[in-house]
Structure 1
Amino acid sequence: MKCKLLLFVFFITTGSMAQQITFSGYIRESGSQELLPGVSVYLANQTAGVSSNHYGFFSLTIPKQDTVSLIFSFVGYGKLELRKSATTNQEFNITLEPANTLKEVVVNAERESQRISDDIQMSSIQLPVSQVKKIPAFLGEKDVLKVLQLMPGVQKGTEGQAGIYVRGGGPDQNLLILDDATVYNANHLFGFFSVFNGDALKSVELIKGGFPSRYGGRLSSVIDMQMKDGNKEKLSGEGGIGLISSRLTLEGPLGKRKKGSFLLSGRRTYLDILAKPFIERAIENEGGEGSAGYFFQDLNLKFNYDFSQKDKIYLSGFFGKDKFNLNTLDESFEEIAGLQWANKTGTLRWNHLYNPKLFSNTSLIFSNFNFGINNELIEYDEDGNNVSDFSLDYSSGIDDLGIKTDFDFYPNANHEIKFGLQFTRHIFSPTAFVINGTEGEGNINVKPDRLKSLESGIYAEDVWTINTKAKLNFGLRYSNFNTDSKNYGRLEPRISIAYKMAPDLSLKGSYAVMNQYIHLLTNTGIGLPTDLWVPTTDRVAPQRSEQVAIGLAKDLGNTGFNLSLEGYYKDMKNIISYKEGASFLELDGNTNSFNDWQDNITSGRGNSYGSEFLLHKKTGRFSGWAGYTLSWTNWQFEELNNGKKFFPKYDRRHDISLVGIYEVNERISLSGVWVYGTGNALTMPLASFRIRIPTANLNNDINRNILPQYSDYGERNSFRAESYHRLDLSIQFHKKKRRHERTWEFGVVNAYNRRNPFFYQTEIQTDAIKGERTVLKRISLFPIIPSFTYNFKF
């Protein structure tokens, strides 16, 4: 079938367009030869054009003519205009100069700001990695996901967390892709940092709606990240030393012919070393001895080699690990505890150019996530004899092995066609639990069968330039999920349209259907690794969403600013949640084993709607953005909140982000971030009371002290936390030396020391006049936090 399809494409590309010619090739960055995705390629004074794909390849087919002016433009780079003869097909490579190193010999040295009015894709944000590195960061750790939280339509989780919630969706509804591989847990340090090292990244794109058909498997968003390929010209590197971690990236050519390159990027925290003396002192003050520590580390690797102009090979991998340990000992007991989780991904890709109009990429993909807890407790009597021995081991995980093939076909300047297919084998290990005790009845050994499934998809889409004013992207995806007992197949139509109301103003609309076959069970809401990945089964249906959006996109002249305004409505079905009081460790006391996770969940539906505003400037001496979101999200489950609708925890009515970066001169740059958000929706007690039972042997005072307090919580999430707002500031001092560049960065998070709520708790206070009363106490996590980082580049 595949061979027939390729023969058909070959026929129509070679036999039906004799009066047309094709320009094609690769676009690279000057100095490093890094391939550049998303570069606009078009003819002067014409709207028809294309963009280079993820691998820097472009193909533009036009009618034969004497000469044309071919323009290449990309945000942050100089716009290049070439005069070319258009009488025969031509293959050539293009090199673009970064805007801050342009020389007078370049034909056109103006900075090109990406025109969103020309782009058919809506609900999408392409984030320059250079901006990520200049924005103030918690403890100096630059974090892609933290920056995405500052975009409209993207809600942050709890204070300091890296989890994201897009247009009313949960954390499991975001598809995180790193070089074609899915990353299942993106958190370091219990969610305070993400696993993505900005030094290793080339591009970051967030899609919130109007999803192209090539993406599937999640309901709410796609975060597509590409790692750098590596410098093909010379050995170079960069790194940094911060308060809690250090990082180093090296890249350079492979071989004397410089046909390949490598990238090696690592990062490790030294919290375990810094905190060790303080922890040991605290344990000694409690009358014992011992140690505790926590560290995270991650490693990015990438190799590539150009066998020819038509064939390129890429091998990339990511390895991240978090580990916490606690060892304590005193006269009566000894405890050894540990908590660890790890991500591994690997991608082998083959790029092949069949002809100037047909490009393909085939990938073999591996992804793994594992989580484990271990605990051993030994108790001693007065003589030092072992009287009790208890051990606990828990683990869960998910393994993926997949293959995908994608084709980019450029028949002419008015069509960009993409099609392909993919297969992924999932193996889930929901829970493996072992408890051993000195008492025989305390032993539990739960080792369920691993759950195996196959997820597949086939898609096709076409970006069609109808005329000078209208563009259409229409596509169809068929997704399939097969388990041992049931097979699910779903059609997913996608359509986006853009109409030019003026040369710099477009009206856009989109409709997309998405299906999700794997689910994240969570009762923490903050993306902890204890959250459990589980598959669709015959009892648990796939999640499904339909989203419609409409908006305006305007480029504000030559200022470099662009403005977008969007409204959306999203309907979600078969979303899942734990039943009241249930968790991933639900023990059946009768059988001394753990319940099936399917018995602990309930399914329901939800909707989200709102409007988003974004004013963005990506380049120039002053850059940044202003974003505002007004939104509502509702969930409804038959077995929760008495079947009534309720707001999920991260429903926020208003969300504001102001981000500014100002280059004072070549040596000093300033940046600041101010955020505001409506408080989270929480379930809190509305009233507390005690039931007093008259007892002949107990007076009222004793009776009051021993009887429990009861609370009336009312409806689910009916309490609103206080609003959240914070100001972050930083200043960077740059100095270029003969062989390297160094940067000192000083920053402060929460500059005006706002005590934002992390959680609330109730406590009983006794007053001599008013008596006993229950008060609500706000617990804050972070006060004002300064930081400094030393960065270097060579």
Structure 2
Amino acid sequence: MKPITTCILILLWGIALPAQYKGVVVGPVGLPIEAVQIKNVNTGKGAVSDSSGVFFIKADDGDFIEFKHLNYVTLCVPLITSGLDTVILQSKDFPIAEINVSTRAHEGYDNMGAIGIKRVPAFMGEQDVLKYLSTLPGVTSLGMLDAGIYVRGGNSSQNAYLVNGIQLADPQHIAGIMSTFDPYILNHSRFYKSGYPSKYNGYLSSYIDMQPVNYMSQDFTGEITLGLLASSAKARVKYGKRKKSLFAISYRHSYFQLLARGYNRNKEVNEQLPSYTFNDLNMAFSVPVKKDWKASFFGLFTSDDLPMKLNPDFSYGLNWGTFSSILSFSGSVGKGSSALFSVGHNRYTSDVELGATVNSSTINKTAQWNVNTEFKSALSSVLELNYGLNTSFKNYSYNQEIESLSQNAFSNHLIFAFAESQWRLRKKFKFTWGLNASTYLNTGSPVFVSPRLKFHYDHKRVSAWFDYAHSLQFEERMNVFTIQSPVDIWLPVKNQIPSRSHHISIGSQWRMRTTANISFGAFYKKLESIKEFETFNRNNLSQSIGKMMSGEGKSLGAELDLIYNTGALYSRLNYTLSHVKTRFKNINQGRNFNPPYDVRHNVLWNASIKINPQINLNTMWTYKSGRSATVPAGVAVVKDIAGVSAEFIPVFKDRHNYKMPATHRLDINVEYLQHMRIHTLKFNMGAYNLYNQQNPSFVFVQSEFKDDYFLQFKINSKVIFPFMPYISVSYVFSGDNRQEDR
């Protein structure tokens, strides 16, 4: 009992961040702005900037701070743990996209807001959360069919997508194009790639915790977009007594299949575009229920359809969809204390239809319930404790129909408890210490303890940090194809120790001035009991789970990030070096190998230029090292009894035995705004993969006859999306004469 008692005492001993935050407000050229009215929207407390632009305000982490001045555009931003640092306001003759907030570096996480997302080229005129994430150091995306992101040498199945701490269903449109998350609704998020807070567990690589919009400066706003490839309709409105309730909705629909039909005329099968289409609906509302308490809801519905034809006699039809709903209650439970209660439900369904000599169909479903409680208590003016409990119950089912129907069903029940404290010393040093205790009922209820530790130094223009996080994963994704795809099958870890990661990270940032900073980071992950499947038996997944293998691995790398931002000009250049090795006893004769998510070199350049108050240019260029894939080592010939016909069956030996070529592309987007009092016309024109680089999404083996006698097999690649131009027109309106602060 002594070790447990000691841990609890350490958790209770901590000094919270000061309740008073300091910042400075400057204009477009860096001069301080005096007499800016600064207000904490959540508490109503206010402050005024002095002649040096400096202000002090009392607030909690996550509170929204509003900045108002007669000669400048009003700005409202969420407060973050390290403070606001420098807030840059623009004159009222500048559009809202010019407003910028310069914050200090954070130990292991990034804040995502609508302003940063707008700097990334908007495919089909739609901004995207995951595409912005892929611009951060240590993060990359791979192929078109692989709809996830890869964080610091981790697999795309090792990321958690959350809203208010509750997990969403596996959210996937095709990667590199658009995700299911609309920043019009989810306009503020935190992305943790190391040093995870103790309240998070269950995944090894990252946690993306998104927040629905909860502040508006107008009574209502709306946006209708018509484009060649997709259209959308969005609206946000304040209502109720004193306009404290908020409702927001966004619907998007694509008709890319219409473009594909025209493009595919007179094209060879391997040159055709897929007739891809998607729909998604994001919805959120919040309403005060009593003094200092608020109820909020978020819902997400998605559907995707992707038919693919590999040759005249072989095709796939991929369909998948998700539904997620989250209801939360948050508020004060006494002086200096707050609470959050959330319950969520999500469902995921995928269907793979195979058109070949023998047709088949497979249906994969998951359904999950989550309940979360979280408390934050200020035990004194200098002491704070965060603690809570989370439980999850998830069902998995899989059906396949070829000539007969096979069914498989599984379940997983998880419970997490956490506690965490912080200690700030002399306003320069911050220590965070926490524990997460978890158990799952599939293996006799063992308890796993995951310690978390963070150290952060911040003084003047320099920040530095070190963190350690132990995390677990209780499910794994089994690939339907030789690459990862949105229709892969999630299966629970049963009768085994869950996958484990020991993640160490260090980093520093040097802020040369308000317009530029340089960040450097390095990381090391030790991976234990990571999971892979020895066989894939579609008819009996219990057999596949029984042959779920445990292995080991490591991931290490370094990151460099350069940012220059004057408001009118934003430029970001980063480079990530990552090296991943894994080893399983029954794969590749027990040798170490590089998995498909080992992307050795990743370079990204993103620029946003305000040419004038009406025209904005966004560009993004990426380069990624080639990843590994699995191809057959040979072909077995099977003849019928009469010897008249033969069937060729690929023979696989080693996995990940083929290195695909490196990929690179340039995306560009031009936005033109025509302001008309309270309305705005927005024109978006651009191109995905501007110089039409033929980046293969996946490879496959195809047989070819030569001179009617000789049969050869060669590796072919499939390019799903080549060069694609687009144009869209948006009509933006609001309920008053002010521009929207979002």
Deviation at 1:472, TM superposition (A): 0.7
Matched position secondary structure for 2:450: strand
Matched position secondary structure for 1:205: strand
Match of 1:728 in 2: 667
Q: Tell me the alpha carbon deviations over residues 309-350 of structure 1, each in whole angstroms, 9 at most, x when there is no partner.
A: 411111221111224689xxxxxxxx9997532211111111
Match of 2:603 in 1: 656
Match of 1:406 in 2: 374
Match of 2:405 among 436, 439, 445: 445
Match of 2:296 among 294, 314, 338: 314
Match of 2:533 in 1: 578
Distance 2:729 2:126 in 1: 11
Describe how 1:361-760 pairs up with structure 2 within 5 A. 361-373=340-352, 394-411=362-379, 415-429=383-397, 431-435=398-402, 442=403, 444-448=404-408, 450-483=409-442, 486-500=444-458, 502-524=459-481, 527-538=484-495, 540-559=496-515, 561-579=516-534, 582-583=535-536, 585=538, 587=539, 596-617=543-564, 620-684=567-631, 716-760=655-699
Matched position secondary structure for 2:612: coil
Q: Retained in 1: the 8 A contact 2:145–2:486?
A: no
Q: Retained in 1: the 8 A contact 2:169–2:323?
A: no
Q: Retained in 1: the 8 A contact 2:346–2:367?
A: yes
Distance 2:223 2:370 in 1: 33
Amino acid at match of 2:503: Q
Matched position secondary structure for 1:198: coil
Distance 1:260 1:680 in 2: 48
| 1:32 to 1:393, Cα distance in 2 relative to 1, 3 A | farther
Amino acid at match of 1:445: L
Amino acid at match of 1:432: N
Match of 1:305 among 274, 277, 287: 287
Give the alignment's TM-score, normalised by structure 2: 0.79
Distance 1:41 1:576 in 2: 55
Amino acid at match of 1:515: L
Q: Percent identity?
A: 24
Deviation at 1:786, TM superposition (A): 1.4
Match of 1:350 in 2: 329
Match of 2:278 in 1: 296
Deviation at 1:671, TM superposition (A): 1.5
Q: Tell me the alpha carbon deviations over residues 29-75 of structure 1, each in whole angstroms, 9 at most, x when there is no partner.
A: 99999879xx99999999999864346499xxxxxxxxxxxxxxxx9
Q: Retained in 2: the 8 A contact 1:190–1:529?
A: no
Describe how 1:119-268 pairs up with structure 2 within 5 A. 121-159=106-144, 161-189=146-174, 192-229=177-214, 231=216, 233-268=218-253
Q: Tell me the alpha carbon deviations over residues 623-680 of structure 1, each in whole angstroms, 9 at most, x when there is no partner.
A: 2411111110011111110000000112122110010101112111111111111111
Match of 1:99 among 83, 89, 93: 89
Higher alpha-carbon Rg: 1
Distance 1:369 1:658 in 2: 35
Distance 1:247 1:257 in 2: 30
Distance 1:505 1:153 in 2: 21
Amino acid at match of 1:371: S
Q: Retained in 2: the 8 A contact 1:230–1:263?
A: no
Q: Retained in 2: the 8 A contact 1:191–1:528?
A: no
Matched position secondary structure for 1:555: strand
Deviation at 1:494, TM superposition (A): 0.4
Matched position secondary structure for 1:608: strand
Distance 2:460 2:414 in 1: 43
Distance 2:407 2:47 in 1: 54
Deviation at 1:766, TM superposition (A): 9.6
Q: Retained in 1: the 8 A contact 2:158–2:204?
A: yes
| 1:48 to 1:428, Cα distance in 2 relative to 1, 3 A | farther
Matched position secondary structure for 1:257: helix
Deviation at 1:256, TM superposition (A): 4.9
Q: Retained in 1: the 8 A contact 2:394–2:412?
A: yes
Distance 1:506 1:644 in 2: 41
Distance 1:558 1:336 in 2: 54
| 1:519 to 1:57, Cα distance in 2 relative to 1, 3 A | farther
| 1:507 to 1:274, Cα distance in 2 relative to 1, 3 A | closer
Q: Tell me the alpha carbon deviations over residues 158-185 of structure 1, each in whole angstroms, 9 at most, x when there is no partner.
A: 1575421111211211011134331232
Match of 2:729 in 1: 790
Q: Tell me the alpha carbon deviations over residues 570-602 of structure 1, each in whole angstroms, 9 at most, x when there is no partner.
A: 0112222222xx3351x4xxxxx6653314532
Distance 1:376 1:670 in 2: 44
| 1:459 to 1:533, Cα distance in 2 relative to 1, 3 A | same
* Root mean square deviation of aligned Cα: 4.8
| 1:336 to 1:602, Cα distance in 2 relative to 1, 3 A | closer
| 1:49 to 1:544, Cα distance in 2 relative to 1, 3 A | farther
Deviation at 1:763, TM superposition (A): 6.8
Distance 1:340 1:544 in 2: 32
Matched position secondary structure for 1:625: strand
Structure 2: give runs of 5+ residues left out of the alignment. Answer: 1-11, 22-35, 67-72, 309-313, 638-642, 734-742
| 1:596 to 1:684, Cα distance in 2 relative to 1, 3 A | closer
Amino acid at match of 2:89: A
Matched position secondary structure for 1:194: coil
Matched position secondary structure for 1:322: strand
Matched position secondary structure for 2:597: coil
| 1:545 to 1:242, Cα distance in 2 relative to 1, 3 A | same
Deviation at 1:206, TM superposition (A): 1.6
Structure 1: give runs of 5+ residues left out of the alignment. Answer: 1-11, 59-74, 82-93, 287-291, 327-334, 380-389, 436-441, 588-592, 692-701
Match of 2:27 in 1: none
Q: Tell me the alpha carbon deviations over residues 528-580 of structure 1, each in whole angstroms, 9 at most, x when there is no partner.
A: 23311111211x43111001111212222222x2321111100112222222x
Matched position secondary structure for 1:642: helix
Match of 2:70 in 1: none
Q: Retained in 2: the 8 A contact 1:139–1:785?
A: no
Describe how 1:31-70 pairs up with structure 2 within 5 A. 52-54=60-62, 56=64
Distance 2:204 2:368 in 1: 19
Q: Tell me the alpha carbon deviations over residues 341-364 of structure 1, each in whole angstroms, 9 at most, x when there is no partner.
A: 221111111112123411111111
| 1:717 to 1:204, Cα distance in 2 relative to 1, 3 A | same
Distance 1:468 1:170 in 2: 37
RCO greater where, 1 or 2, for CA within 8 Å and sep 6 or more?
2
Amino acid at match of 1:340: N
Distance 1:584 1:183 in 2: 28
Match of 1:383 in 2: none
Distance 1:472 1:113 in 2: 23
Distance 2:354 2:146 in 1: 26
